[in-house]
Amino acid sequence: MPLLKPTQLEEAAELLRGGQVVAMPTETVYGLAALAMNLPAVAKVFKLKGRPRFDPLIVHAASMRQAFELAADVPPLAYRLAESFWPGPLTLVLEKVAAIDDLVTAGLTTVALRVPDHTLAQELIAAAGGVLAAPSANRFGGISPTRPQHVLQELGNSVPVLDGGPCRRGVESTVVAVCGEQHPVVLRLGAITVEQLSDVLGRPLEVRNSSDQPQTPGVPGAPGMLSRHYAPRTPLVLVERFEQPATGQRVGALSLDQSPVGYTVIERLATAGDLVEAAANLFAAMRRLDEADLTRIEAILVPEQGLGRAINDRLRRAAYDS
């Protein structure tokens, strides 16, 4: 049962309606979904992930209308962003309505909303009969799953996974808070680039993303934005350039396009420096390296522009403290 084919979507919806959790594909990463209004089911999500209760979940809707019903106030700039990027990998943090429980939002007065750009996700939300709370379907602190098999590796065979194949985008949604009259703030870099956002808003916007800034180790800037996150078990170190490792050492190399000599496993994220391709490959490459029984992984950051900022953010977090 763990893997459900797209034709078994109704079965997945039935499980959700019965208060179970189901892993669902989205364009970014796989999510571990429960009906957001079913609190025992949401509690199962936290438990299965080993996720602390102070880290709020994103609520996934099938349409902008369904999403904004959950916001107490939708500022004009939130509309503008939603119209430009939904369905898609943008999460908007807005003042919540009372119907959204504190468990989902970790006691905050705001709720994170997103309309995924994935047919199966949209159909699942519609068939389940309500919005779905879903964090990435990895164990807390681990690498987000971009393939159905990754979910099984993370959570075991007990969680049914709706098989949507590999995720197209490969990095999580960009989280943007839009509160009242304030200008929007980026809380997590992601698949929608900062450049795309400021093009729509007509001015630069603040990025308050903890791996960008000095902070107290382990204290989240936005809830859930712990520095060490997306981390393989194998130590990952950022390097300026690859230098041939000592003989006998098992070292992995992760970069956009380099093939250095003497490394046991080499992961190149893209063929022609394409950052879209690199993002789609990033987490699967990190997993392969982690499974190769290496003493360490060396990684070189990609260009710090466009999607490269989100890729580098994940690499910095993976390297943090290792």
From 62-70, 71-79, 167-175, 253-261, give the range in contact with ligand TXA by CB under 6 A. 167-175
Cis peptide bond upstream of 87, omega within 30: yes
Beta carbons of 13 and 106 less than 8 angstroms apart: no
Of 105, 136, 173, 234, the residue at the interface with Mg ion (CB under 5 A) is 136
Binding of ligand TXA at residue 151 (CB under 6 A)? no
Residues in contact with Mg ion, shown as a per-residue x/- string from 79 to 118 under the rule CB under 5 A: ----------------------------------------
Number of residues engaging ligand TXA in binding (CB under 6 A): 29
Beta carbons of 230 and 319 less than 8 angstroms apart: no
Q: Smallest distance from the beta carbon of 253 to ligand TXA, in angstroms? A: 27
Q: Which residue has its beta carbon closest to ligand TXA?
A: 224
Torsion from C-alpha of 162, 165, 171, 175, nearest 10 degrees: -40
Q: What count of other Cβ atoms lies within 10 Å of the Cβ of residue 162?
A: 26
d(CA 6, CA 3): 10
Q: Smallest distance from the beta carbon of 137 to ligand TXA, in angstroms? A: 7
Binding of ligand TXA at residue 112 (CB under 6 A)? yes
Tokens for 135, please give them. Answer: 């964090």
Residue with Cβ nearer Mg ion (224 or 245) = 224
Binding of ligand TXA at residue 172 (CB under 6 A)? yes
Of 175, 178, 192, 256, the residue at the interface with ligand TXA (CB under 6 A) is 175
User: Which phi and psi angles does 208 have, rounded to 5°?
Assistant: -110, 75
Beta carbons of 128 and 23 less than 8 angstroms apart: no
Residue type, 43: A
Binding of ligand TXA at residue 110 (CB under 6 A)? yes
From 25-33, 192-200, 276-284, 287-295, give the range in contact with ligand TXA by CB under 6 A. 25-33
Residues in contact with ligand TXA, shown as a per-residue x/- string from 203 to 242 under the rule CB under 6 A: -------------------xxxx-----------------
Binding of ligand TXA at residue 281 (CB under 6 A)? no
Residues that bind ligand TXA (CB under 6 A): 26, 28-29, 31, 55-58, 89, 91, 93, 105, 108, 110-112, 114, 134-136, 172-173, 175, 187-188, 222-225
